[in-house]
Amino acid sequence: MTTPVPDPAAAPHAPAQSATETALHEQYFGHEHLTVIEPPGRFDLLDVRELWAYRELLFTLARRQVSLRYKQTVLGAGWAIVQPVMQMVVFTVLFGRIAKIPSDGFPYPVFVFSGLLPWTYFTSAASSALGSLVGNSHLLTKVYFPRLIIPLAAVTAALVDFAVASGVLLALLLFYGVALTPSLLLLPVVVLGLVLAATGIGTGLGALNVSYRDLGHVMPFFMQLWLYATPVIYPARLVPESFRLVVQLNPLTGLIEAFRACALGQPLDFAALGVSLLIAAVLFVTGTLYFHAVERRFADVV
């Protein structure tokens, strides 16, 4: 005799859903109608409602990535702190003590770590998103879901490391007596810009990496060059006037300078931040639309 499977929605303690959420769930997961899966058009817009419907899968993949990253490690999530702290120590010795690079009147460890923290998040998120499709090839070939969920999960998982390492920045600010100011409230805006830039670059290059695996080898070298072209270990004012326009077109210039200004209580350059946010938004739209246009062939070539 077959025992009927109880409907979770009929459970007495199941959380109530709004009519909108119920309709959205039925649209993508309902069983009383036919769902036709067909390849998207090359220039179709992203189905944001579909991405929202699969948000639980997004958080599950992000949680799994964080769990696998620190599984069977001694330090666990402490590894999120080790990399930026070790870089801070090396840069403090080389550039703060030996090269005597100015730090706008702040102790050099605080100055450089306030730049390394957003930079480390960006590189980790973009690099993880780049290799996420190849690393999850078994999912691409077996079940349907919005493929954009995979790189988005990588970008989301990197936020956990960012949150852990942010505690080190707070400790440095308190240790060196740097006053906490209301400008810290603007940090979420800057972090949003970093997320947009990392998602745009990670998804676009991740789509290319499915066909051209060389990108996985080129990315670390490219990021190293990008580090020195970004005001992480030096203030942007040291850039010569002839190169300043080029540096301002770097989307991370305004974002990292704004992050540092918010953390250290300096005046913000809203013009530079606005330019960086605009470029980050363009990267996000361009990267995700390109990803959407070519995702139909991922399962064939991954």
Q: Where are the domains of the chain?
A: 47-301
pLDDT-derived band at 256, boundaries 50, 70, 90: very high
Residue 31, pLDDT above cutoff 70: no
Q: Annotate 131-142 with b (16+ C-beta within 10 A) or e (fewer).
A: bbbbbbeebbee
Comparing 45-49, 104-108, 229-233, 256-260, the range with the smallest average pLDDT is 45-49
Choose among 181, 219, 218, 178: nearest CA to 198: 219
Q: Is the pLDDT of residue 253 over 90?
A: yes
Higher pLDDT, 3 or 105: 105
CA distance 177 to 179: 6
CB 127 within 8 A of CB 219: yes
CA distance 42 to 48: 16
Structure tokens at 276: 């960086």
pLDDT bucket at 139, cuts 50 / 70 / 90? confident
User: In this model, does residue 91 exceed pLDDT 70?
Assistant: yes
* Stated pTM of the model: 0.84
Q: How far, in Å, CA of 62 to CA of 132, rounded?
A: 11
